[in-house]
Amino acid sequence: MLDADFFRRWMTATAASVDREAERLTALDSPIGDADHGSNLQRGFTAVAAALEKEAPDTPGGVLTLAGRQLISTVGGASGPLYGTLLRRTGKALGDAAEVSAEQLAEALRTGVDAVMTLGGAAPGDKTMIDALVPAVDALGDSFAAARAAAEEGAVATTPLQARKGRASYLGERSIGHQDPGATSAALLVAALTEAADE
C-alpha cells in the first residue's frame, strides 16, 4: 500500500528530475513553443517541494492536492493549469484514505488525465502530454516500471506527429520532427514513481 510518505517522495523525486532535465525541456520547447517549459516547471516543482517540507499532508490525496495548488499558483503558461489539474483531480479522486493501492492510484490518475483532456481539449495523437500520460495510466496496472516505459515510449512517439493542440499547433507541419516537451515532462513525472518506490 502507498501512504502519504510515498506520495511526498514521488513529488520530491519529480522536482529533482525536472531540475536535472530543465535545460533539455526548454531546448525541446525552443523550436515549437515559448522556450520556457523547463524553467516554468522547475519553478513550479521547486515550490511544490518547499510547500511539502513546510506542510506535510497526512493522506496521499492531500499531498497531490497541495502539489496541484502550488503548480497552478506558481507556473505560468499552459503547463501550470494542466499539471495542477492533473494532480489536484488525482488527489481528489483518492479522497481521504490514509493508504491507497497501486490500482487505486491508477484509477485516480486516469480521472486526472481525463480532466486534463477536458481542460486542454487534447486527445492521444495530438502531440501533447496526453501522449505520454494515457499509455502510462494503461500500463500502471502492471507495474510502475511498465508505466515508466510506456510514458517514455509515448513521449518519443510524438516526434513524427504534427501538433494539433497547444502552442506548437500554430506551426502546422513545422512541428513535425520535434519531440513534444509536455509529453517529455509527463514521462519524468511517471518515471519518478519508480524512484519513490525504490527509496
Q: List per-residue pLDDT tens for the chain, 199 residues long.
A: 999 999 999 999 999 999 999 999 999 999 998 899 999 999 999 999 999 999 889 999 999 999 999 999 999 788 999 999 999 999 999 999 999 999 999 999 999 999 999 999 999 999 999 999 999 999 998 999 999 999 999 999 999 999 999 889 999 999 999 999 999 999 999 999 999 998 7
CA contacts within 13 A on the Cβ side of 79:
28
Q: What is the pLDDT of residue 78?
A: 87
Q: Determine the Cα–Cα distance for residues 92 and 90; give it in Å rounded to an integer.
A: 5
Q: What is the grid cell recorded at 45? A: 516543482
- Could you tell me the CA-to-CA distances from 184 to 68, 71, 82 in Å, in that order? 19, 17, 14
Tell me the DSSP string of 47-106: HHHHHHHH---SSHHHHHHHHHHHHHHH--TTHHHHHHHHHHHHHHHHTT-SEE-HHHHH
Burial grade of 129 (CB within 10 A; 0-12, 13-18, 19 or more): buried
Distances (CA, A) of 101 to 9, 93, 94, 95, 141: 16, 13, 10, 13, 10
**127's torsion region: left (phi>0), alpha (psi -120 to 50) or beta?**
left
| Cα 197–chain centre separation | 17
Inter-residue contact 188 to 14 (CB < 8 Å): yes
The pTM score is: 0.96
Residue holding cell 493542440? 165
- Tally DSSP H helices, then E strands, for the chain: 8, 2
pLDDT confidence of residue 199: 72
pLDDT for residue 48: 97
Q: Looking at residue 140, what is its pLDDT?
A: 95
State residue 77's pLDDT score.
80
Predicted pLDDT of residue 76: 77
Please state the length of the chain: 199
